């Protein structure tokens, strides 16, 4: 994801990929920061509703389900604040143990995977790591 991608696209990518957040890359595809899903969601919810949650009960169900479509012109860069976390990064050769240790130590449910040049090649999310660990059996 780049700073220029739309928030609506970011929400769709997160939903379809079941991701806890997004890795934002620079022009060279190097991971620069992590955008937590809650930060994307916060931008998607109009400020008036965040300040007064009682207003949410005044919106009918049809409109309440599509409120986030109003942010089509907003970009990922609009979400980025001064406290946006830097991504946790591993090389593509990292083992499950290395990933588990890093995720636990950094308390990060999302890790960027880079090649030897530092370019993003993928990501590992906690759910997938736990699934891989659960399916791994020691040799008998």
pLDDT in tens, 45-95: 877 888 888 888 888 888 777 777 777 778 888 877 667 778 899 999 999
Beta bridge partners of 111: 88, 124
For residues 11 and 71, the model is more confident at 11
Q: What is the pLDDT of residue 122?
A: 93
pLDDT level of residue 131 (50, 70, 90 thresholds): very high
Q: What is the pLDDT of residue 55?
A: 87
Contacts 24+ apart (CB under 8 A), 45-49: 46/70
Percentage above 70 pLDDT, the chain: 97
- According to DSSP, the β-strands at 31-36 and 88-91 are unpaired
- According to DSSP, the β-strands at 110-114 and 120-125 are antiparallel
Average pLDDT, the chain: 87
Q: Tokens 């593509």, residue?
A: 92
For residues 95 and 40, the model is more confident at 95
Rounded to an integer, what distance in angstroms lies between the CA atom of residue 137 and that of residue 108? 25
Q: What is the pLDDT of residue 45?
A: 80
pLDDT level of residue 35 (50, 70, 90 thresholds): confident
pLDDT, mean of residues 102-130:
93
């Amino acid at each position: 994801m780049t700073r220029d991608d739309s928030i609506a696209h970011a929400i769709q990518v997160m939903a379809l990929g079941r991701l806890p957040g997004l890795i934002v890359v620079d022009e060279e595809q190097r991971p620069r920061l992590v955008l937590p899903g809650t930060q994307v969601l916060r931008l998607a919810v109009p400020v008036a509703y965040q300040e007064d949650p009682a207003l949410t009960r005044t919106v009918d169900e049809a409109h309440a389900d599509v409120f986030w479509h109003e942010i089509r012109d907003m970009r990922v860069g609009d979400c980025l604040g001064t406290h946006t976390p830097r991504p946790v990064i591993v090389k593509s050769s990292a083992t499950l143990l290395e990933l588990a240790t890093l995720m636990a130590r950094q308390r990060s449910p999302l890790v960027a995977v880079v090649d030897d040049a530092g370019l993003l090649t993928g990501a590992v999310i906690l759910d997938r790591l736990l699934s891989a660990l659960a399916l791994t059996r020691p040799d008998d």
